[in-house]
């Protein structure tokens, strides 16, 4: 039987995403009612600038007092899309304490304090859902924590930031330099005026922390994620990648150690073979590749940002939370029973592409090879070219630990015949 009393929703934030959430709630009201089993009502919208005209939202619903809104006591679900750590953390906590479940898109907060928020939600028997925090419209969080709950996930690797993928795709397809590609991304609205969070990997690192925690049933915080930005990637790196049959992507990689005793989470640029499904992800799209014991290899692909795509994920969570509310249940909370240690980056094993500027004279290759051997790093291929006393030496290794590679590079820099290390890049996705 359809319940006639509406479920009341408080919306915190009414920017690009929040305004789309409000619009969809209004235009799809009848469908949402049918899918949930009760009508949903937008009971209040907390904003910082109340004088701005917000089409489709009644002015009496708008308030600058977000705390009072979540304390009302008659709110069933709070949707938080304001971002940042505070006041979002305090508002979500207050919502739980006053009887509301929460839907959030706040990747930074969840990466930093997800465990604490889950604990508070559990204390008050309320839901905390956050599909929109990772990869926009792509259904990813729910498949990982529900659809694959009976499987063992070994690796999650993906492109989780549309801005960086757009820039790298432009560099690859047109030969543009980093700054030129960034300028185009900014002009088209893909990059913020200050793109630091995207291009330095902070955004992707927060998402990696969330994905690793869910995939491996282990608490992984933002501080546990190794992060390396993409601002040093050059056209020369792309030329080298093409010679290897690869392209370059900024990847978030979460993986279980081969012995299953630990996990790692990292974000950095990497060469990836053109044969890998992630290599074909173009423009501002996102894609996440999941490897598990039983299901094998899965890929989730789609728009990873923007008002409508992110609002789609928010509304999906809203429907699920409202259904739980009606049935008097809650969905899955935090699963951290495995409590696996998070290994440092030095323990990570992968392949490397190293480009060296060296003197063009006999014996250089032998010296370089000796340094690699002394540090236990096996060489797969070497390519040398040069003239007029200067040369370029490109070395691709077999799998080696990050610590071993770091020691190798430090030793190489001390050789008189090595003029400099032009670039170092990991090779993933084999």
CA–CA separation, 248 and 352 (whole Å) = 13
Exposed/middle/buried for residue 243 (C-beta within 10 Å: 0-12, 13-18, 19+): exposed
Alpha carbon dihedral 362, 363, 366, 370, in 10-degree steps, equals -160
Is residue 75 within 8 Å of 43, Cβ to Cβ?
yes
Among candidates 220, 246, 247, which has minimal Cα distance to 342?
A: 220
Helical ranges in 2-56 per DSSP H: 16-27, 29-36
Among candidates 279, 262, 252, which has minimal Cα distance to 338?
A: 262
Looking at 71, 207, 361, 414, which residue is catalytic? Answer: 207
Name 418's bridge partners. 358
Instruction: Please state whether beta strands 128-129 and 418-427 pair in parallel, antiparallel, or not at all (unpaired).
Output: unpaired
Handedness of CA 220, 224, 226, 227 (dihedral sign): positive
Tokens of 388: 């007029």
CA 93 to chain CA centroid, nearest Å: 24
Tokens of 278: 């992630």
Q: Catalytic: 361?
A: no
Among candidates 202, 131, 217, which has minimal Cα distance to 163?
A: 202
Is residue 191 within 8 Å of 167, Cβ to Cβ?
yes
Cβ neighbours of residue 36 closer than 8 Å, sequence gap 6 or more:
7, 319, 322, 323, 326
CA–CA separation, 303 and 315 (whole Å) = 16
- Give one DSSP letter per residue of 51-86, joined into a string: TS--TTS-GGGEES-HHHHHTSS--SEEEE---SST
Q: Which residues are catalytic?
A: 207
């Amino acid at each position: 039987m359809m319940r006639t009393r509406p479920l009341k929703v408080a919306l915190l934030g009414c920017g690009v995403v929040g305004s789309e959430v409000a619009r969809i709630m209004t235009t799809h009201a009848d469908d949402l009612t049918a899918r949930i089993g009760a009508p949903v009502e937008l009971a209040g919208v907390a904003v910082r600038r109340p004088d701005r005209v917000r089409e489709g939202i009644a002015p009496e619903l708008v308030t600058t007092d977000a705390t009072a809104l979540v304390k009302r006591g008659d709110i069933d679900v709070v949707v938080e899309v304001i971002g940042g750590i505070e006041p979002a953390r305090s508002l979500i906590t207050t919502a739980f304490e006053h009887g509301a479940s929460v839907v959030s898109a706040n990747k930074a907060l969840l990466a930093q304090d997800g465990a604490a928020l889950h604990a508070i939600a559990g204390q008050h028997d309320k839901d905390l859902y956050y599909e929109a925090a990772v990869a926009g419209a792509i259904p990813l969080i729910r498949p990982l924590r529900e659809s694959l709950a009976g499987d063992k996930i070994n690796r999650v690797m993906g492109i989780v930031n549309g801005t960086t993928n757009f820039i790298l795709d432009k560099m690859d397809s047109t030969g543009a330099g980093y700054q030129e590609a960034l300028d185009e991304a900014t002009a088209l609205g893909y990059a913020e005026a200050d793109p630091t969070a995207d291009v330095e990997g902070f955004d992707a690192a927060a998402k990696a922390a969330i994905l690793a925690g869910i995939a491996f049933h282990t608490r992984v915080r933002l501080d546990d994620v190794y992060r390396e930005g993409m601002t040093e990637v050059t056209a020369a790196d792309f030329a080298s990648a093409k010679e290897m049959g690869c392209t370059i992507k900024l990847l978030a990689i979460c993986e279980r150690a081969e012995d299953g005793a630990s996990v790692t989470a990292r974000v950095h640029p990497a060469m990836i073979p053109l044969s890998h499904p992630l290599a074909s992800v173009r423009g501002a799209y996102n894609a996440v590749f999941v490897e598990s014991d039983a299901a094998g290899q899965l890929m989730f692909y789609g728009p990873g940002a923007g008002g409508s795509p992110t609002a789609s994920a928010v509304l999906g969570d809203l429907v699920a939370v409202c259904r739980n509310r009606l049935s008097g249940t809650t969905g899955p909370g935090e699963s951290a029973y495995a409590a696996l240690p998070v290994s440092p980056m030095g323990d990570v094993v992968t392949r490397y592409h190293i480009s060296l500027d060296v003197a063009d004279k006999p014996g250089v290759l032998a010296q370089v090879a000796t340094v690699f051997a002394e540090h236990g790093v096996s060489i797969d291929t070497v390519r040398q070219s040069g003239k007029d006393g200067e040369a370029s030496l490109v070395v691709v290794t077999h799998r080696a630990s990050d610590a071993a590679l770091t020691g190798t590079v430090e030793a190489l820099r001390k050789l008189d015949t090595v003029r400099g290390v032009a670039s170092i890049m990991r090779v993933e996705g084999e």
